[in-house]
Chains A and B, each alone.
Chain A
């Protein structure tokens, strides 16, 4: 199944229609999905094409001039908050970061809500599934500080963690994931790419002391992912979700079945990290209290 339905929409930029002095401004035809949970349809809006706009600007102009009750989420308008996700000509994107000049404006442009989520109204969808998954993940649980009150980590050891922490939670990856896009029934037992990246971040954090592998494999469904990389393809932050998060997590989960000591060695490198917080202890498997053995100085899956 092809999720990205219209490659040409972004692959072949047409010269942007710029109003010339004395000539009437070129027209845009926007087809915006209007409706709610009970159904809806595309409504067509005609408006002038102005230079230098992104799709969100055009949607805002329609809202201000033609349809004040058009529902759309947005915040930063700079690709940093991940609120304005939608499917533009069938392709999941941030509306604020999609320039009109990259779209063929001689054809009608469709903007529809993310299909992977229930619709609330118009372009606004229900993303509560994601917040529910977030609550299932045991939090970051560091070991003790150094004697001088600091935590020491070298940059090279946190580069990968920082890659995952770039995530703006636009949930485009959740929207295109095959496991849940057309399979609502999988949602209760599947975290989705955004949260695999979050879990990978915690698992690879040099200071974290928890072992979440049982949770990742049994309750969060890492095994359901068949590595089609759709998530990576749509990520506006360019996070290599499949290669750098999901595949390493799959390897760790498999490793755990055979060699818990090897995992410990990767996880805790400098010294034993006793469970300090009570909530941390509640997540920790018994094996974590065993003797520390230092092995590999770096996570084996560092790309």
Chain B
């Protein structure tokens, strides 16, 4: 490996979305030599797709709001499966993180008195989402990107990490990747590595995620010996586009409902009133009249059921479609046209207007949208220590969607962007501290590098091997049909078997052409990550014999209080993924009282 390009850093961050850039900014500011490595160009990460806003109890619109209310909403939304300490830190620190963004140049929409405007979103008691129209993610990403550029942080773009490197003592001390452009390998020696690689959506067929969402970071951590938790908890966002086929899965922001949009079935009925769960009955309007008054008077009226947490809404839509009351293309109607003026819709939801006009030729100010659930987010992820973002492997940190615990069994809209900022910063801070406290240079194990490179090049030695696109297609079909929104024992067992077969096929795929920007080869390697994620999700889903949040079992339709006290931990053992139950950290009594107060 002597000839391989090698870089030495204190901290490397894998992923250049909101969490990765926020982590890099913090690590760099703490004095650590920091670099970011990402699969795409800088500024293209999936964070740009976040639309609605960043949740933070600033209290600008509702002075009654504070971190305790936000904490409570988050835990209840997550069906109490959250790591309580993460949820607490998140609620407490999100406002400062948002104000900090403003200091770095973010320009949020304003209140009449010139402060940051906040909007309503599902599961949040008060209007809490700081936003910029419906392109908040772009604003957040661009702000962090511009901050990183101002700090002179090195960014290695279009570089895919294949495996992490480990020291003889078992700590992570670097990574091996390749330049997508040239196919040449590159070694990063680092005292700390932060995984901020985002989600796993490309494992399913209908997803709001981009090609990058292949669970690379989850797999890297898993292969390096780290624990995953609750990988069965994935979120199907209730409103994805269903037509045209090419746009299927593309996200339609929850902001449409926050701003007055309602769901209707083919009979025109606002069916969400038929699906109000007991758990939320006290705080949800049970008549259309009451729900409609809430938009203007949140004190005296309860919120409409269209703004229940995402898992509830997605399941209800699924039931309506199954009952034959769906829209022509197999979705349901999301109607804002009949409820708000054209001017209002265009001002509040400009990119939704644009997206439907351009891709579906639908004018959302005049006609309803056709929508249906789409795989959007994974709540589960790499197990981390709440305060430090440290994983179970020394030297390895994780933040953002790649990390688990913060959102429990279901994530509230808007809590992802704030999660990126709060825990991105913490990961950067503690990874830098770890690196700066580790004297000496990192010694790279050349034998590890050689075997990683050899394995990664293997598809070129199998030119007649199967096309990786075919295997990917079959993996997506398997996960969509067998580990989808509603799950059951027999299908999960079938999925587990199919994943075994798919793994064998994936290890025999071939790549044509040369290493120079070769997407077929890149997919062959991404497939390994997706299969690892799929196994964790499937095993977790088999073991969690209950329905909770984003995980719904047809054969166990109720939540089981005992299972609500455990994480499903998946990890490698003898080259296999195994699942075990481990207890959740217990919430201190003073926080428990927040859930007893009447609301």
Q: Decide yes or no whether B589 CB sits under 8 A from chain A.
A: no
Q: Decide yes or no whether A46 CB sits under 8 A from chain B.
A: no
Q: Which of A82, A151, A279 neighbours the largest number of chain B CB atoms within 10 Å of its CB?
A: A151
Instruction: Determine the chain A residues whose CB is within 8 A of the CB of B467 once the complex forms.
Output: 64, 68
Query: Contacting B105 at CB < 8 Å: which of A78, A79, A131, A140?
Result: A140
Instruction: Determine the chain B residues whose CB is within 8 A of the CB of A145 once the complex forms.
Output: 103
Q: Are A155 and B210 in contact (CB under 8 A)?
A: no
Q: Are A68 and B44 in contact (CB under 8 A)?
A: no
> A257 → chain B, closest Cβ, in Å?
28
Instruction: Determine the chain B residues whose CB is within 8 A of the CB of A168 once the complex forms.
Output: 48, 138
| 8 A Cβ contacts from A93-135 to B | 97, 99, 120-122, 124, 127, 131, 134-135
Given contacts A97-B359, A152-B113, A155-B109, contact A78 B44 (CB under 8 A): no
Q: Are B520 and A152 in contact (CB under 8 A)?
A: no
Instruction: Determine the chain B residues whose CB is within 8 A of the CB of A289 once the complex forms.
Output: none
> B67 → chain A, closest Cβ, in Å?
15
Q: Are A36 and B516 in contact (CB under 8 A)?
A: yes
Instruction: Determine the chain A residues whose CB is within 8 A of the CB of B149 once the complex forms.
Output: 134-135, 139
Q: Decide yes or no whether A153 CB sits under 8 A from chain B.
A: yes
Q: Decide yes or no whether B595 CB sits under 8 A from chain A.
A: no
Q: Decide yes or no whether B110 CB sits under 8 A from chain A.
A: yes
Q: Are B142 and A165 in contact (CB under 8 A)?
A: yes
Instruction: Determine the chain B residues whose CB is within 8 A of the CB of A73 once the complex forms.
Output: 40-41
Instruction: Determine the chain A residues whose CB is within 8 A of the CB of B103 once the complex forms.
Output: 142, 145, 151
Q: Are B250 and A77 in contact (CB under 8 A)?
A: yes
Q: Decide yes or no whether B439 CB sits under 8 A from chain A.
A: no
> B242 → chain A, closest Cβ, in Å?
11
Q: Bound complex: CA of A99 vs CA of B355, how far in Å?
A: 12
Q: Are A149 and B99 in contact (CB under 8 A)?
A: yes
**B-contact bits for A63-87, CB 8 A (1 contact / 0 none):** 1110011111111111111110000
Q: Bound complex: CA of A141 vs CA of B150, how far in Å?
A: 11
| 8 A Cβ contacts from B94-142 to A | 99, 102-105, 107, 109-110, 113-116, 132-133, 135, 138-139, 142
Given contacts A68-B467, A75-B212, A153-B110, contact A51 B244 (CB under 8 A): yes
Q: Are B110 and A155 in contact (CB under 8 A)?
A: yes
The count of chain A contact residues (Cβ–Cβ below 8 Å) is 58
Residue of B nearest to A64 (CB): B469
Residue of B nearest to A50 (CB): B245
> B579 → chain A, closest Cβ, in Å?
32
Q: How large is the interface on B (under 10, 10 to 19, 20 to 34, 35 or more residues)?
A: 35 or more
Q: Bound complex: CA of A142 vs CA of B105, how far in Å?
A: 8
Q: Decide yes or no whether A166 CB sits under 8 A from chain B.
A: yes
Q: Bound complex: CA of A81 vs CA of B42, how far in Å?
A: 10
Given contacts A120-B181, A140-B104, contact A76 B48 (CB under 8 A): yes
Q: Are A79 and B246 in contact (CB under 8 A)?
A: no
Q: Decide yes or no whether B513 CB sits under 8 A from chain A.
A: yes
Q: Bound complex: CA of A121 vs CA of B147, how far in Å?
A: 31
Residue of B nearest to A124 (CB): B517
Q: Are A139 and B107 in contact (CB under 8 A)?
A: no
Query: Contacting B245 at CB < 8 Å: which of A52, A69, A78, A124?
Result: A52
Q: Decide yes or no whether A48 CB sits under 8 A from chain B.
A: no
**A-contact bits for B346-375, CB 8 A (1 contact / 0 none):** 000001001100110100000000000000
| 8 A Cβ contacts from A152-174 to B | 152-155, 158, 161-162, 165-166, 168-169
Query: Contacting A99 at CB < 8 Å: which of B110, B358, B473?
Result: B358
Residue of A nearest to B155 (CB): A131
| 8 A Cβ contacts from A41-65 to B | 50-54, 56-57, 63-65
Given contacts A127-B41, A155-B110, A168-B48, contact A150 B210 (CB under 8 A): no
Instruction: Determine the chain A residues whose CB is within 8 A of the CB of B113 once the complex forms.
Output: 152
Q: Bound complex: CA of A106 vs CA of B45, how far in Å?
A: 36
| 8 A Cβ contacts from B511-530 to A | 511-514, 516-521
Q: Are B355 and A78 in contact (CB under 8 A)?
A: yes
Q: Decide yes or no whether A205 CB sits under 8 A from chain B.
A: yes
Q: Are B48 and A80 in contact (CB under 8 A)?
A: yes
Q: Are A169 and B518 in contact (CB under 8 A)?
A: no
> B115 → chain A, closest Cβ, in Å?
5
Q: Bound complex: CA of A139 vs CA of B531, how far in Å?
A: 42
Q: Bound complex: CA of A260 vs CA of B251, how far in Å?
A: 48
Q: Are B146 and A75 in contact (CB under 8 A)?
A: no
Q: Bound complex: CA of A150 vs CA of B113, how far in Å?
A: 11
Q: Are A79 and B355 in contact (CB under 8 A)?
A: yes
> A249 → chain B, closest Cβ, in Å?
18
Interface residues of A, Cβ cutoff 8 Å to B: 36, 50-54, 56-57, 63-65, 68-83, 97, 99, 120-122, 124, 127, 131, 134-135, 139-140, 142, 145, 149-155, 158, 161-162, 165-166, 168-169, 202, 205, 279
Pairs A–B under 8 Å by Cβ, sample size 23: A54-B359, A68-B512, A68-B513, A68-B519, A71-B517, A73-B41, A75-B212, A77-B210, A80-B48, A80-B49, A81-B44, A81-B210, A82-B44, A99-B359, A122-B517, A127-B41, A139-B105, A139-B149, A150-B116, A152-B115, A161-B107, A166-B138, A169-B44
Known: A79-B354, A279-B150. 17 other contacts (CB 8 A): A68-B518, A75-B210, A76-B44, A77-B250, A78-B247, A79-B355, A80-B135, A81-B49, A81-B210, A83-B41, A120-B181, A121-B517, A140-B146, A150-B116, A153-B107, A165-B138, A168-B48
